[in-house]
Amino acid sequence: MDDGGKVGVAVLGTGRMGAAMARNLAAAEHDVRVWNRTRERAEPLRDAGVTVAATPAEAAEGAACVLTMLTDAEAIEGALDGEDGALAALGPEGLVLQMGTVGVEDVGRLGELVEGAGALFVDAPVLGTKQPAEEGKLIVLASGPAGAREGTAPAFEAVGRRTIWLGDAGSGTRLKLVAQNWVMTVIEGLAETIALARALDVDPAKFLDAIDGGPLGPAYAQIKGKMMIDGEFPPSFTLKGARKDVRLVLDAARSADLELALAPAILERFERAIELGHGDEDMAACIAATQAPATI
């Protein structure tokens, strides 16, 4: 760790979440270097005092920790491994903080890759979407070796409002998949409820109003429900990303010999909405599979 608790952090992946996290790390005065496959997308971060590197290895050179916020395990492996990969440049005491959403098996493989290179692996997916990421208010589901905990604090405090420490690496991902199952059932349930309201000639805004503020009316339903009613879906989390997560949930359930009834149905609905052209929109666009958005 550098003087004053400031650390060198390499952020790999500057998509919706990673860019916001890099900005908050820089705002906390850490020395932030980013790498993104599509370099132009990382360039605007220079305004925040962030250095844009050409390769993951260049980003990781001299850093205390490497934070990955990439789509899936394949992308993470690609950024960590190989000649230009971050592990080639990260020192022996270095930390890898895997913060994206991956599968149960993926996390085991990633841990072996990192530990095989002599670094410490912390599995730390997050709860919260684009806005909490921008506000530095994510909830970090951290898991990994006790010896890694202290070194993670500067980064986790900059990106999150709360860190929940769980057990061995992989516990964070398991809790994240449990939480994703909940979110996906809520979003699909909300979509079908709004479609039902319309089919029954009920103004869906009246439904949202009726549940607002009570135990059945979480803020999430208000935010996503308004998007569904307006038929406008600027992405916080894309429908393609949500499909990935439903698949991860299903894989995890299968490997635990648990049969889920809702997740396969949700996957089918998400697939249909993606076929209709909504894959890069917010996952609230899943309503398109049940009913084309219409203004009422």
Ligand X SMILES: NC(=O)c1ccc[n+]([C@@H]2O[C@H](COP(=O)([O-])OP(=O)(O)OC[C@H]3O[C@@H](n4cnc5c(N)ncnc54)[C@H](OP(=O)(O)O)[C@@H]3O)[C@@H](O)[C@H]2O)c1
Do 147 and 93 touch, CB atoms closer than 8 A?
A: no
Interface size with ligand X, residues (CB under 6 A): 25
> Is residue 129 close enough to count as binding ligand X by CB under 6 A?
yes
Residue 67: CB minimum distance to ligand X, A: 11
Q: Which of 22, 45, 64, 70 binds ligand X (CB under 6 A)?
A: 70
In sequence order, which residues have a C-beta less than 8 Å from that of residue 95 and are 6 or more positions away? 64, 65, 66, 119, 120, 122, 148, 151, 152
> Is residue 71 close enough to count as binding ligand X by CB under 6 A?
yes
Q: Which stretch binds ligand X (CB under 6 A): 57-65, 145-153, 233-241, 268-276?
A: 233-241
DSSP E strands, the chain? 8-12, 31-35, 51-52, 65-68, 95-98, 120-123, 126-127, 138-142, 160-165
* CA 25 centroid distance within chain: 17
For the chain, report the end-to-end CA distance as a whole number of angstroms: 57
> Is residue 161 close enough to count as binding ligand X by CB under 6 A?
no
Residue 283: CB minimum distance to ligand X, A: 9
Q: Choose among 116, 106, 132, 20: nearest CA to 67.
A: 20
Subset of residues 24 to 43 that bind ligand X, contact rule: CB under 6 A: 36-38, 41
Q: Which of 35, 121, 156, 237 binds ligand X (CB under 6 A)?
A: 237
Residue 84: CB minimum distance to ligand X, A: 12
Residue 245: CB minimum distance to ligand X, A: 6
Adjacent-strand bridge partners of 164:
141
Torsion of CA 90, 91, 95, 100, to 10 degrees: 10
Q: Per-residue string for binding with ligand X, 79-98, x by CB under 6 A?
A: x-------------------
Residue 296: CB minimum distance to ligand X, A: 28
Pair of tokens at residue 216: 């059945």
How far is it, in rounded angstroms, from Cα 217 to Cα 222? 7
> Is residue 15 close enough to count as binding ligand X by CB under 6 A?
yes
How far is it, in rounded angstroms, from Cα 39 to Cα 58? 13
- For ligand X, the nearest residue by Cβ is 15
Q: Which of 8, 10, 14, 293 binds ligand X (CB under 6 A)?
A: 14
> Is residue 16 close enough to count as binding ligand X by CB under 6 A?
yes
Binding site for ligand X (CB under 6 A): 13-18, 36-38, 41, 69-71, 74-75, 78-79, 100-101, 126, 129-130, 236-237, 241
